[in-house]
């Protein structure tokens, strides 16, 4: 079971297909990398490691999610 740890807001898509202002869920993988999941096509989720997005020039703000 995946547990969402944060939300990511796309601030600047740098010419990629991400939509500026969109908010996407962030998770932690088994290697300790944070990644977000988006659905470019409905029902086809795609994982993107956040540090790779930074390398591509995508500006992302990540805010932790609080749990009870």
The tens-digit pLDDT sequence of the chain (68 residues) is 688 999 999 999 999 999 999 999 999 999 999 999 998 788 999 999 999 999 999 999 999 987 64
- Residue 1 in domain: no
Which structural domain, as residue segments, surrounds residue 13?
A: 6-64
Q: Which residues touch 17 (CB under 8 Å, ≥6 apart)?
A: 40
- Residue 59 in domain: yes
pTM of the model as a whole: 0.85
State how far Cα 58 lies from the chain centre: 11
- Residue 47 in domain: yes
Buried-state track 4-25, b at ≥16 Cβ within 10 A, e below 16: eebebebeebeeeebeeeeebb
Question: How many distinct structural domains can be found in the chain?
Answer: 1
- Residue 12 in domain: yes
- Residue 56 in domain: yes
- Residue 29 in domain: yes
């Amino acid at each position: 079971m995946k547990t969402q740890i944060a939300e990511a807001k796309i601030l600047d898509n740098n010419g990629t297909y991400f939509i500026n202002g969109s908010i996407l869920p962030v998770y932690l993988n088994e290697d300790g990398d944070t990644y977000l999941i988006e659905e470019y096509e409905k029902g086809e989720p795609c994982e993107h490691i956040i540090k790779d997005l930074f390398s591509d020039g995508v500006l992302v703000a990540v805010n932790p999610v609080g749990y009870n």
